């Protein structure tokens, strides 16, 4: 458990759990606490939170906090808000068999008055970046480093430290959502490679299992993004009903919801492109098959008169025209030659007429 006190002077780490919530001061920025916990710690922090807030966490919400498969969702408790978001894990997007596998895990947020509790995976890059940034802020404020904080190194979305639990929560959530958008380049490149292989006439496509898995994963990603959007919308509406959130919170929430919409559109677009590539592959295969059948049909049309002539002169009758004549063989060969030329000319004329119509 990591306790951090936010005041107008900056963040201050606490070595142990405080006994009470920070009291409001005269400054415009009210102090608040942030308790950051790992999923490995289970729920050992619940008694301390209930003790300093004087509130009891609902039993159903406690069960949700222990459910690693819970979808993104928002709910309101007595004196707090509970928000669950499915976040991206640190595993590679593609396994050794080039199969797309989007692994997610839950991140829990309990937002109280002057207290934010986060319960997340230990190796979460978002929270590690937040802790690194806060460490830099503390070192900068205490004069341990004379280097100014570059804007590129700032983890938080705002140019100042958060002034409320809601503001800190929106900043963390915004970065969690942006991690989904960060892998769109890698995913798009892989799908484009599959599309080129599907449409390549020189290469036989063999990654059907990986492609079908990618289609299923993209459908799951779109459903998860819709759950994100619903949870954030419900939380935003709850904030506006219970209190008057700061403009920074509303702006960042609206920006995060816009990013979620972009994620939904991204998953839908990539899924549609994959489906279109599959359909184009089958269309190209059908077209190639039709071309082969057309060639075979033309060859059959050329050899059908020849087969007819040889069949006629191969019949076992005693008296047949041209059999006893010395020029009979040459006449038969000439007839076969004329029929071949006529067939080729007829086929060429039909193909030319079809080309002119196009």
Q: Give pLDDT tens digits for 37-66.
A: 998 877 889 999 999 998 999 999 999 988
* CATH C-level class of 2-283: alpha beta
pLDDT at residue 149, rounded to an integer: 46
**Percent of the chain scored above 90 by pLDDT?**
15
pLDDT of residue 291: 82
Higher pLDDT, 147 or 103: 103
Q: State the CB neighbour count (10 A cutoff) for residue 323.
A: 12
CATH number of the domain at 294-357, out of 3.30.2270.10, 3.30.70.2740, 1.10.10.60, 1.20.58.340?
1.20.58.340
The ranges of the chain annotated as CATH 1.20.58.340 are 294-357
For the chain, give every residue range classified as CATH 3.30.460.20: 2-283
pLDDT value at residue 72: 92
Residue 73 has pLDDT above 90, yes or no: yes
Q: Check residues 229 and 193 and name the one with the higher pLDDT.
A: 229
CA distance 175 to 352: 62
pLDDT of residue 234: 92
Element (H or E) spanning 187, and its range?
helix 184-199
pLDDT digits (tens, 9 = 90+) for 103-137: 889 999 999 988 999 999 888 888 888 887 777 77
- Residues 157 and 170: their CA atoms lie apart, in Å, by 9
Stretch 170-190: mean pLDDT: 85
Q: Which range scores top for mean pLDDT: 16-25, 60-69, 280-289?
A: 60-69
Smallest CA-to-CA distance from 73 within 279, 206, 224 is with 224
Which of 70-84, 159-173, 191-205, 304-318 has the least mean pLDDT? Answer: 191-205
The yes-or-no verdict on residue 94 having pLDDT over 90 is no
CA–CA gap between residue 26 and residue 43 (Å, rounded): 35
Which pLDDT value is given to residue 141?
Answer: 61
Higher confidence at residue 161 or residue 104? 104
pLDDT of residue 90: 83
Q: How far apart are CA 216 and CA 18, in angstroms?
A: 47
Residue 84: band (very low, low, confident or very high) from pLDDT cuts 50, 70, 90? very high
231 secondary structure, DSSP code: H
What was the pLDDT predicted at 358? Answer: 62
- Global pTM reads 0.74
Rounded CA-CA distance 81/134 in Å is 25
- Whole-number pLDDT of residue 153: 43
Q: Is the pLDDT of residue 159 over 70?
A: no
End-to-end CA distance of the chain: 74
Average pLDDT, the chain: 82
Which are the contacts of 1, defined by CB distance < 8 A and separation ≥ 6?
A: 17, 35, 36, 37, 41, 44, 45, 48
């Amino acid at each position: 458990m990591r306790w951090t006190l936010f005041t107008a002077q900056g963040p201050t780490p606490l070595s142990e759990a405080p006994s009470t919530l920070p009291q409001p001061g005269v400054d415009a920025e009210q102090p608040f606490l942030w308790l950051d916990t790992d999923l490995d710690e289970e729920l050992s922090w619940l008694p301390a939170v209930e003790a300093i807030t004087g509130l009891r966490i609902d039993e159903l919400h406690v069960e949700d906090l222990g459910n690693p498969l819970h979808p993104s969702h928002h709910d309101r408790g007595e004196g707090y808000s509970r928000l669950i978001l499915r976040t991206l894990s640190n595993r590679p997007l593609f396994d050794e068999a080039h199969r797309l596998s989007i692994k997610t895990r839950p991140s829990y947020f309990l937002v109280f008055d002057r207290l934010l509790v986060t319960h997340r995976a230990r190796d979460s890059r978002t929270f590690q970046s937040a802790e690194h940034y806060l460490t830099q802020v503390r070192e900068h404020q205490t004069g341990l480093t004379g280097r100014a904080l570059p804007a590129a190194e700032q983890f938080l979305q705002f140019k100042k430290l958060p002034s409320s639990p809601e503001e800190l929560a929106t900043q963390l959530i915004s970065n969690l959502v942006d991690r989904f958008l960060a892998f769109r380049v890698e995913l798009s490149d892989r799908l484009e490679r599959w599309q080129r292989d599907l449409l390549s006439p020189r290469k036989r496509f063999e990654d059907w299992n990986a492609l079908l898995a990618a289609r299923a994963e993209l459908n799951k990603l779109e459903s998860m993004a819709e759950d994100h959007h619903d949870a954030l919308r419900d939380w935003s509406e709850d904030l506006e009903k219970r209190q008057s959130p700061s403009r920074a919170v509303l702006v960042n929430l609206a920006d995060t919801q816009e990013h979620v919409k972009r994620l939904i559109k991204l998953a839908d677009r990539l899924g549609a492109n994959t489906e279109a590539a599959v359909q184009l592959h089958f269309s190209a295969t059908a077209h190639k098959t039709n071309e082969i059948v057309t060639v075979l049909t033309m060859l059959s049309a050329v050899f059908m008169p020849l087969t007819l002539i040889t069949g006629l002169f191969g019949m076992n009758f005693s008296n047949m025209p041209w059999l006893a004549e010395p020029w009979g063989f040459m006449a038969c060969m000439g007839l076969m030659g004329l029929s071949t030329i006529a067939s080729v000319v007829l086929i060429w004329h039909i193909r030319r007429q079809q080309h002119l119509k196009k």
